[in-house]
Amino acid sequence: HRSDCARHVFDELPGLANRRTFYENVSRAIASMKRRPAVLFAVLFIDLDYFKRINDDFGHIVADELLDTIARRLENCVRSEDIVARIGGDEFAILLNGISDGSEATEAADRISVEIARPATIDEREVRATVSVGIALGDVKYDLPEDILRDADTAMYTAKSAGRAKSALFDGSMKS
């Protein structure tokens, strides 16, 4: 059993930051960008496609194991200076620190999509999953982590509406 302190810092998936810890790291990235605008970062919002169907077809235990597999794969897709967090049920977020431009974020999203799409063998069953990824680039206009996460989430829904298993880079035209 983890201590209460550890429970606040990490989600139930070992090693992953929770929403609060993720927001703290994004706040630091925003503050750093305001001091040094050349230090770029991006937030990726990742949602499993058709996760309810996976739960229904394979059951909760296999679905939970799949989430654990996806968490490990996400961590393997990023650098040590990046932060992977579980935001909610089947939603993850990644903070890419110190990127040189937006293409680094879209390349990371592509790597993630390919890695997650590889079949996983869980309980002697082959399980396939895909993700939709929304990307929001750090900008001095952001003051709060909630704002950039909201924009990454908006971009993720744009990716889902384009057919799922895709990524989308946020731009102002996506605001409702």
Residues with catalytic function: 90
| Residue 125 φ/ψ, nearest 5 degrees | -120, 145
Instruction: Evaluate the CA torsion angle 38, 170, 16, 68 in order and state its sign.
Output: negative
Q: Residue 106's CB: how many other CB atoms inside 10 A? A: 18
Please, are residues 49 and 157 in contact by the beta-carbon 8 Å criterion? no
End-to-end C-alpha distance for the chain, whole angstroms: 44
Question: Rounded to an integer, what distance in angstroms lies between the CA atom of residue 128 and that of residue 117?
Answer: 6
Beta partners for residue 133, in sequence order: 46, 167
Q: Residue 174's CB: how many other CB atoms inside 10 A? A: 15
